[in-house]
Amino acid sequence: MADSMAQTAPQDGGTRRDFLQLVTAAFAAVGVGTLAWPFISSMNPSRDVLALSTTEVDLTPIATGSAVTVMWRGMPIFVRNRTAEEVKEAREVPVADLRDPQTDQARVKKDNWLVVVGVCTHLGCVPLGQKPTDPRGEYGGWFCPCHGSHYDTSGRIRKGPAPLNLAVPDYVFNTDTKITVG
């Protein structure tokens, strides 16, 4: 900022005036910059939005092999109670073969419970696979109908354009049958 001011200043002669103008312009620029902040900040999430950023999920009604979708921050969260077979499948894959290498153990807190953000990492569609009738893709997890990404039973990307595994949100087990997401 000071540089660009200095370019225009020398034409006017008297250095005292130049300096004074420079200081005034700098001062005004700081003021304008400061006043811009409230405008920018007002577009960030407001306090009522932030206050709703945790969601509690009761796990009792979710039978083995089925899944529920809950809302968290306006996004679907997939909570799946995996069968022993699905867990085994997920853990037998050599990690080195994966596009986004992660072990299944690193993605869950309890073996059978998988909690992921149900948003495809390609361009944000919601993958299919929650309902029993949905296609689950070639790897038994989820299939994104928008551009054909296949996720496995750990929610990891296996085939298609998506670059990353389905994200695991921050969550804690409050009790054995209740989690809080966020």
Partner 1 sequence: MASGLHNSEVANPVLRWIDQRLPVITMMQKEYGTFPTPRNFNYFWNFGALAMVNLLIMIATGIFLAMNYTPHVTMAFDSVERIMRDVNYGWLLRYVHANGASMFFIVVYIHIWRGLYYGSYKAPRELLWMLGVVIFLLMMATAFMGYVLPWGQMSFWGATVITNLFSAVPLVGPDIVTWLWGGFSVDNPTLNRFFSLHYLMPFVIFGVVFLHVAALHITGSNNPLGIDPKGPQDTLPFHPYYTAKDSVGLVAYFAFFAVLVFFFPNLLGHADNYIPANPLVTPAHIVPEWYFLPFYAILRAVPDKLGGVVMMFGSIAILFVLPWLDTSPVRSMRFRPLARPFFIVWCVAFLVLLYCGGKPPEEPYVTISRVATAYYFLYFLVILPLLGRLERPLPLPESIARPVLRGGGPLPAGAMSKPMEKA
Partner 2 sequence: MSVKTLKALAVAAGLLAGAGLAGPARAAGGAEHLPHVNFSFDGPFGHFDLASAQRGFLVYKQVCANCHSMRLLSYRNLRELGLSDEQVRAIAADVQVVDGPNDEGEMFERAGRPSDRFRSPFANEKAARAANNGALPPDLSVITKAREGGAQYIHALLVGYEDPPAGVTLMDGMYYNKYFAGHQIAMAPPLSGDGQVEYTDGTNPTVDQMVRDVSQFLTWAAEPEMEQRKAMGVKMVLFFTVLGGLAYAVKRKVWADVH
Contact present, 145 and 130 (Cβ < 8 Å)? no
Identity of residue 59:
L
Residue 150 annotated to the active site: no
Q: Which is nearer to partner 2, 23 or 71 (CB)?
A: 23
Question: Across the chain, which distance is largest between two alpha carbons, in Å?
Answer: 84
Candidates 64, 147, 167, 180; catalytic one: 147
Among 46, 60, 133, 175, binds partner 1 (CB under 8 A): 46
Phi and psi for 7 in degrees, rounded to 5? -65, -40
Residue 20 interacts with, from partner 2, partner 1, none (CB under 5-8 Å by kind): partner 2
What letter does residue 123 receive in the DSSP assignment?
T
Span between the terminal Cα atoms of the chain, in Å: 41
**Does 23 interact with partner 2 (rule: CB under 8 A)?**
yes
**Candidate residues 4, 34, 42, 175; the one interacting with partner 1 per rule CB under 8 A:** 42
Helices (H) and strands (E) in the chain, counts: 4, 9
> Are residues 125 and 139 in contact, defined by beta-carbon separation less than 8 angstroms?
no
Contact string (CB under 8 A) for partner 2, positions 50-79, x = contact:
-xx--------x------------------
Residue 16 touches which member of partner 1, partner 2, none, C-beta under 5-8 Å by kind: partner 2
Is the CB of residue 147 less than 8 Å from the CB of residue 122? yes
* # chain residues binding partner 2, by CB under 8 A: 15
Binding site for partner 1 (CB under 8 A): 12, 24, 28, 37-39, 41-44, 46-49
- Return the active site residues: 147
